[in-house]
């Protein structure tokens, strides 16, 4: 056995070594036997480095996959990347603009060559980052949303939906980004509060008798007004319904109509209707058969419908129109307001609603099975509250605009015949029109929304539309681990497409993980400069401490507040694991495997605690309670195994019990490293390989099983009592400033066994243990319950009066601190307004202070 182990934990020396070893051995590729377990990775966008949210997502999936692999499952975790249409094209355009180039000048073919080079570079970067985190994905099955197989799947799905009548082209009001020059889905629009203006404008009646006043935030859109709407219940305007007014500066006659969308409470209650440039106005226009007048080009300059304002950008036009309205007496007043404005989620440009020809998918027919699956529990959400969010969106689902005005992406498989106008739809390139035979064809310029290909990810990555062995064996997948922000973008669409094309759900469970925020609870962003780069964390602390920290903080339903100090704490834990293992390895001289018999109290206690830890960690992982699993193994290894059992075992290693103690130490360490492996794969592999019980790799070792015969509640209770007595002795020393190394005498009304006395002397630094029913003079209570009393004899170690005064002052200070928290927690505004975690933190701090006060009061009572 190689028992060489370094004096310090150095993650840089072990992480690359072991990842390479796992790949060479092929451990991440599923073996031929065992029940199947499969996950597909949410594919990161190829637009840059992964962030801490990705690190959390990857860590949680890896915990599940490594756990299942060790439990004998045939595991498959499929990796891959998303081509990220808008984001990637925007990034490449910005890059080539710095070189003085534009994509239009380069042409489609040359530009796409540049993007492919970009994609391959960043795919490799992302792959290396995922490896650095330790993800046990099967790289032999890596996929890309634009690879040949997925492109084939996308075309098949498009053609199938088109032939079923579920894909159509039509004019519709869409969100247009003038910077990216493409349409955005509703979910891709991010709203921000803006300081704006509300303009009150007179619209004179066509008969010359008076006017009606409207209020608008976008006066430039009046160039496309085709009606004024008022609420049918608004008494102020009932007599005016049907009258004609003149659009100022334009001269167009339009009618006043009654529509429920007009809000009597907003502005004047009269609403200008521009059906081509507002989604609500669009619906009014449809209901009342209004004219749709588009006033913008795709770069947001005014087109020929804008008269003398043609060529002006939208904000220049606004300025000029307001100036002209005031000059001609139409402007009544301007008010300052705050309102919500939509922005492009990629470039942050203010979007403009535009009436355009686009391709759409009819969603309601596809949504039916996807709704039923979640309602009946066929697909389950963890935490359960996300089920309601999913269903609410699905009940109100609207048709999905799938066309994007980009070059990078899946080009829509439509060919227009330039001679007869026929639309040819095909999975293969069309050479001649299927209707008239003409070869004069032009392919649709637009590409498909990135989410269209992502929606197929659970089955396209497994080889569909081919009937592959992977598809037969690993579909449906077992769980999807993802963030709440893409439930609508991705999760819902995968469920719909899974039922439509596979006739089955794409996954059994959906685990919605937390958002990683900074230590103050703020969202991490470039503008705030508060992001934490996982690669930098790995370089400084190692992958294992980062992973363990993320798991430890991953409580269901609560966002993660990540402080770098948390990772430092996990690094200390890694050091503890390293040093404990090193101590054990160094004390395995003449080791031989023997049965675990003739156990003493501490042996029975630690082995019983181990069984319960195995059970609790296993159950927590299976319920996606990652934080509880991490906390359980942390507490067991550090608090119970290291701080108690290893300490009591040290003197026994020099006695005839040596071989028994060695076997208990190795048994507990072996099982503990296995329990830790899904969370901290690198350090556990490095250390497990040093054990005499190790095998080929901890990655493919067997997950610990509970041995019910070793569960001993009686021994746990007895040893727990001793621990509390020893803690009490240490607490007395700490509170009255006696060094822990100082030996003290204790008195108890209970006669301990020789073994129990040994623990008390060794761990409490106790000289003598006296048995008496009388409390000694000048003593402090270390432990008191209904049957047992233990006192620390102070003798001449301290001045009693001085110590009582000091402790009384300490209580006074603690009481002041406690009162501050009591006041805060009795404040209704604080309880209702503060985030839940802040309130909980205040409660925990108050409880800790009150516990300190209780302990010190007991000591004072004893001293008196």
> CA angle, corner 696, sides to 691 and 697, nearest 5?
80
pLDDT digits (tens, 9 = 90+) for 94-124: 899 899 998 889 999 999 999 999 999 999 9
Which pLDDT does position 2 carry in this prediction? 53
CATH code assigned to 536-711: 1.10.730.10
User: Average pLDDT in the 782-807 region?
Assistant: 81
Which of 237-241, 534-538, 613-617 reaches the highest mean pLDDT? Answer: 613-617
Strand partners, 516: 560
* 642 pLDDT higher than 80: yes
Q: Reduced to 3 DSSP states, what percent helix, strand and coil does the chain have, rounded to the nearest 5? A: 50, 20, 35
Least confident piece of the model among 23-37, 296-310, 841-855: 841-855
pLDDT digits (tens, 9 = 90+) for 599-633: 999 999 999 999 999 999 999 999 999 999 999 99
* 1 pLDDT higher than 60: no
Q: Encode burial over 150-180: b for 16+ CB neighbours within 10 A, e otherwise.
A: bbebbbbbbbebbeeebbeeeebbbbbbbbb
Please, are residues 569 and 549 in contact by the beta-carbon 8 Å criterion?
yes
How far is 111 from 105, CA to CA, in rounded Å? Answer: 9
**Residue ranges of the binding site:** 526
Continuous segment of H or E residues that includes residue 245: strand 244-246
Give the largest CA-CA distance in the chain.
114
User: Average pLDDT in the 301-325 region?
Assistant: 94
User: Average pLDDT in the 652-674 region?
Assistant: 96
Least confident piece of the model among 157-166, 189-198, 673-682: 189-198
How far is 812 from 815, CA to CA, in rounded Å? Answer: 5
In the sheet that holds 779-784, the strands lie side by side as 766-771, 744-748, 789-793, 779-784
As a whole-number percent, the residues of the chain with pLDDT over 90 amount to: 68
* Top-confidence residue, 333 or 815: 333
Please, are residues 778 and 794 in contact by the beta-carbon 8 Å criterion?
yes
Give the alpha-carbon dihedral of 543, 546, 548, 552, to 10 degrees. -170
Please, are residues 248 and 201 in contact by the beta-carbon 8 Å criterion?
yes
Domain ranges of the chain: 11-158+455-535, 196-339, 536-711, 732-863
* DSSP strands (E only) in 280-406: 331-344, 352-361, 380-382, 400-401, 403-404
How far is 200 from 198, CA to CA, in rounded Å? Answer: 7
For the entire predicted model, the pTM comes to 0.83
CATH architecture of 11-158+455-535: 3-Layer(aba) Sandwich (3.40)
pLDDT digits (tens, 9 = 90+) for 736-768: 778 888 899 999 998 899 999 999 999 999 999
> What are φ and ψ of residue 192, in 5° steps?
-130, 145
Q: Which CATH code, of 3.40.50.10880, 1.10.287.380, 3.40.50.720, 3.30.930.10, is assigned to 732-863?
A: 1.10.287.380
* Top-confidence residue, 161 or 187: 161
* Confidence class for position 187, pLDDT limits 50, 70, 90: low
pLDDT digits (tens, 9 = 90+) for 384-440: 999 999 999 999 888 888 998 899 999 999 999 999 999 999 999 999 999 999 999
* 491 alpha-carbon distance from chain centroid: 14
Please, are residues 159 and 425 in contact by the beta-carbon 8 Å criterion?
yes
* Confidence class for position 864, pLDDT limits 50, 70, 90: low
11-158+455-535 and 732-863, same CATH topology = no
Which pLDDT does position 525 carry in this prediction? 66
CATH architecture of 196-339: Alpha-Beta Complex (3.90)
And the tokens for 373? 């699956």
Q: What is the 3-state secondary structure (H, E, C) of 80-117?
A: EEECCHHHHHHHHHHHHHCCCCCHHHHCHHHHHHHHHH
pLDDT digits (tens, 9 = 90+) for 281-298: 988 998 899 999 999 988
* Confidence class for position 670, pLDDT limits 50, 70, 90: very high
* 518 alpha-carbon distance from chain centroid: 13
And the tokens for 793? 């004899």
**Residue ranges of the binding site for ATP:** 526
Average pLDDT taken over every residue of the chain: 91
Which pLDDT does position 815 carry in this prediction? 86
How far is 440 from 431, CA to CA, in rounded Å? Answer: 9
Non-local (6+) Cβ contacts of 304 within 8 A are 310
User: Average pLDDT in the 356-384 region?
Assistant: 94
Strand, helix or coil for residue 545: helix
pLDDT digits (tens, 9 = 90+) for 316-356: 999 999 999 999 999 999 999 888 888 887 788 888 888 88
How far is 174 from 401, CA to CA, in rounded Å? Answer: 8
* 306 alpha-carbon distance from chain centroid: 47
User: Average pLDDT in the 823-829 region?
Assistant: 83
């Amino acid at each position: 056995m190689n028992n060489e182990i370094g004096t310090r934990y150095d993650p840089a020396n072990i992480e690359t070594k072991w990842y390479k070893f796992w790949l060479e051995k092929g451990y991440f590729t599923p073996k031929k036997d065992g029940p199947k377990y499969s996950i597909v990775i949410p594919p990161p966008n190829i637009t840059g480095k992964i962030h801490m949210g990705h690190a959390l997502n990857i860590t949680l999936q890896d915990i599940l996959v490594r756990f299942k692999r060790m439990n004998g499952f045939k595991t498959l975790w499929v990796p891959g990347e998303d081509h990220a249409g808008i984001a990637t094209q925007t990034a490449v355009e910005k890059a080539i603009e710095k070189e003085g180039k534009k994509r239009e000048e380069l042409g489609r073919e040359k530009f796409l060559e540049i993007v492919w080079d970009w994609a391959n570079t960043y795919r490799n970067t992302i792959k290396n980052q995922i490896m650095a985190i330790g993800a046990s994905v099967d790289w032999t099955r890596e996929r890309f949303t634009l690879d040949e197989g997925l492109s084939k799947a996308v075309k098949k799905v498009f053609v199938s939906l088109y032939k079923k009548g579920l894909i159509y082209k039509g004019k519709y009001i869409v969100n247009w980004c003038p910077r990216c020059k493409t349409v955005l889905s509703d979910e891709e629009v991010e709203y921000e509060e803006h300081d704006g203006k509300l303009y009150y404008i007179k619209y004179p009646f066509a008969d010359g008798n008076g006017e009606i006043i409207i209020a608008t935030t976008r006066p430039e859109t009046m160039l496309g007004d085709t009606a004024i709407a008022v609420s049918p219940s608004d008494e102020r305007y009932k007599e005016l319904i049907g009258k004609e007014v003149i659009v100022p500066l334009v001269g167009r006659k339009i009618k006043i109509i009654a529509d429920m969308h007009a809000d009597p409470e907003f502005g004047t209650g009269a609403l200008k209707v521009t059906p081509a440039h507002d989604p609500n106005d669009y619906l009014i226009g449809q209901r009342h058969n209004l004219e749709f007048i588009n006033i913008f080009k795709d770069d947001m300059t005014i087109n020929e419908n804008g008269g003398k304002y043609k060529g002006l950008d939208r904000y220049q036009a606004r300025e000029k129109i307001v100036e002209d309205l005031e000059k001609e007496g139409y402007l009544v007043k301007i008010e300052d307001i705050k309102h919500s404005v939509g922005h492009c989620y990629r470039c942050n440009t203010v979007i403009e609603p535009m009436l355009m020809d686009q391709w759409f998918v009819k969603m309601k027919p596809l949504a039916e099975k996807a709704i039923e699956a979640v309602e009946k529990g066929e697909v389950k959400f963890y935490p359960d509250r996300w089920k309601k969010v999913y269903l609410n969106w699905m009940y109100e689902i609207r048709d999905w605009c799938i066309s994007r005005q980009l070059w990078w992406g899946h080009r829509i498989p439509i060919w227009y015949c330039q001679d007869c106008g026929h639309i040819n739809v095909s999975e293969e390139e069309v050479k001649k029109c299927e209707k008239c035979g003409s070869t004069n064809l032009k392919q649709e310029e637009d590409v498909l929304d990135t989410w269209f290909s992502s929606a197929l990810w659970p089955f396209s990555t497994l080889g569909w539309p081919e009937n592959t062995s992977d598809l037969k064996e690993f579909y449906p997948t077992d769980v999807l681990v993802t963030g709440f922000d893409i439930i609508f973008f991705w999760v819902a669409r995968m469920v719909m497409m899974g039922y439509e094309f596979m006739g089955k759900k794409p996954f059994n469970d959906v685990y919605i993980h937390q958002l990683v925020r900074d230590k103050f609870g703020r969202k991490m962003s470039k503008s705030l400069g508060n992001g934490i780069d996982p690669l930098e964390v790995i370089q400084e602390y190692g992958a294992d401490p980062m992973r363990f920290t993320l798991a430890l903080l991953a409580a269901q339903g609560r966002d993660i507040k990540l402080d770098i100090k948390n990772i430092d704490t996990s690094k200390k834990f890694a050091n503890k694991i390293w040093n404990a293992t090193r101590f054990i390895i160094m004390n395995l001289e003449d080791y031989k495997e023997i049965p675990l018999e003739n156990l003493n109290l501490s042996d029975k206690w630690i082995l019983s605690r181990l069984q319960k830890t195995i059970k609790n960690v296993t159950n927590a992982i299976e319920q996606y309670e990652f934080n509880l699993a991490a906390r359980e193994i942390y507490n067991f290894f550090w608090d119970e195994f290291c701080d108690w059992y290893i300490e009591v075992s040290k003197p026994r290693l020099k006695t005839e019990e040596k071989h028994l103690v060695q076997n208990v130490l190795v048994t507990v360490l072996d099982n503990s490293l296995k329990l830790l492996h899904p969370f901290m794969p690198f350090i556990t592999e490095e250390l497990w390989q040093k054990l005499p019980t190790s095998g080929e790799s901890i990655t493919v070792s067997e997950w610990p099983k509970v041995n019910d015969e070793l569960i001993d509640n009686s021994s746990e209770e007895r040893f727990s009592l001793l621990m509390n007595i020893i803690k009490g002795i240490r607490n007395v020393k700490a509170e009255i400033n006696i060094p822990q190394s100082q030996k003290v005498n204790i008195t108890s009304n209970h006669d301990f066994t020789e073994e129990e006395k040994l623990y008390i002397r060794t761990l409490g630094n106790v000289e003598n243990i006296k048995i008496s029913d009388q409390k000694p003079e000048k003593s402090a209570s270390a432990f008191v319950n209904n049957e047992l009393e233990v006192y620390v004899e102070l003798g001449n170690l301290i001045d009693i009066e001085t110590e009582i005064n000091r402790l009384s002052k300490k209580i006074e200070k603690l009481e002041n601190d406690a009162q501050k928290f009591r006041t805060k927690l009795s404040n209704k505004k604080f309880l209702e307004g503060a985030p839940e975690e802040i309130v909980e933190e205040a409660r925990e701090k108050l409880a800790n202070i009150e516990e300190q006060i209780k302990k010190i009061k007991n000591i004072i009572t004893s001293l008196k």
